[in-house]
Amino acid sequence: MLYRTLFLIFLTIICTTIPVTAAELDNYYLQTSFHTFHYSQKDYQNNQQQLLGIERHYSNNKLNGISFFKNTYNQNTIYIYGGKNYSLTKFGKTEITAKLTYGIVHGYDDEDGKYDTWMHDMETFPAFVFAVGLRRKPYRLDVIPFADAGIIITGGVEF
């Protein structure tokens, strides 16, 4: 457990401190979660994710980022990822977007057998996350489905 934590801290430092030239960096995006909905409501489920994330967006639409949140089981979780933004269409100054990210999730703990899912068995695992949203500079709003469990609505500001 200690080695995983140290590895994730090291990876976070590397991902957030890699130098970027001004020509390729487009903007940063600071985001938070507004609402979470689970399709099957259960007493133990956390609907207040308290997500806080930062992304670097590049002029070629690629991105990388890190997000901290409370997972469904109210456990501190981190997602370190890369990905790409897609512009689907525009209506005036408003843009319909899609985003696909891929990375590593860490923070699911089975708490000595209390939770019996593959995520809790692995604790750290690869992930792909898809989002669809609206963008009107400098603001963004995204709807993120998480597997067959529910959706998270996030939003933030680009700077």
- Looking up residue 79, the CATH number of its domain turns out to be 2.40.160.20
The answer as to whether 59 is a domain residue is yes
The domain tally of the chain equals 1
Considering the domain boundaries, does residue 12 fall inside one? no
What is the value of pTM for the model shown? Answer: 0.81
Q: Is 2 within a domain?
A: no
SS3 59: coil
Q: Is residue 13 part of a domain?
A: no
Domain that holds residue 49: 25-158
Q: Taking a C-beta distance cutoff of 8 angstroms, is the pair 150, 36 a contact?
A: yes
Does residue 147 fall inside a structural domain?
Answer: yes
What's the pLDDT tens digit per position in 109-155?
877 777 777 776 778 899 999 999 999 999 999 999 988 889 999 99
* DSSP element (H, E) containing 99: strand 94-106
More confident residue, 7 or 44: 44
Give the pLDDT band of residue 23 (cuts 50, 70, 90).
very low
In angstroms, how far apart are the furthest CA atoms of the chain? Answer: 53
DSSP state of 117: S
Distance CA 27, CA 20 (A): 11
Does 7 map to a domain?
no
Structure tokens at 66: 């890190």
